[in-house]
Amino acid sequence: MTECLIALGGNMGDVASTFAAALELLAGHDDITVRNVSRCFVTEPVGSDAGDSYLNAAARLETTLDPTRLLEATKQVEAELGRGPHHATWAPRSVDLDLITCGNTVLENHRLKIPHPGCWYRRFVLDPLCRIAPTTKHPILNRTFEELRNRLLPRPLPVWLDLPDREQTIQELRQQFPQIHWASGPEDVADTGLTLPGSPAPPDSLVDVLAAATGSVELANPIPNWPESQGPRSELESGLES
């Protein structure tokens, strides 16, 4: 059995109930067991066409399926819940199921990238993951999801832009992102913050990366009929009220 992490997101209809239906369908698959489920988070939409605020959550699965077959299973669940096969990256949606990790697998082909190339800077992915798998390590970065999330918590957030037109880009972005401290060198982000473009290469534009890293993330209710069952408690979470 392989432990896999998935991220759930949506902003159309009764999203929490749709999450519950998605988990029921996954749990009903002969080769998938749903082990842990996070509470929902209300998160700020990313992208100019993303629509209203999102709900996001995460789940830990155990499966005998390889990553490609697991992807097919999640896409079938999305289809059964009304999501079409063709959609824009940041378009409004009823439900989105993203594979984040599948054990220590590192995979890249025309259909699938594992680990998910955007998971290391997206707060709407990292915060739910930290409820159920804070000590799980990103297979490429060799940092836990708690460590990746904690790097994004300081305000202002230090960001080092490793770009040839760095100064011009900062001037263009400064007003849009007042919560960012534009670092003067990579040493300023050794322990916290971001180096961009970064590695693995983000699938998003620079503006969307920054929005995903700095957007608001608020803990909300559990998924109906799926009370949160947490993995090992992180140092930060153990000091906070649930």
Residues catalogued as catalytic: 83, 93, 96, 98
HSE toward the beta carbon, residue 201, CA cutoff 13 A: 2
Asked if the peptide bond before residue 156 counts as cis, ω within 30 degrees of 0, the response is yes
26: nearest Cα among 223, 242, 231: 223
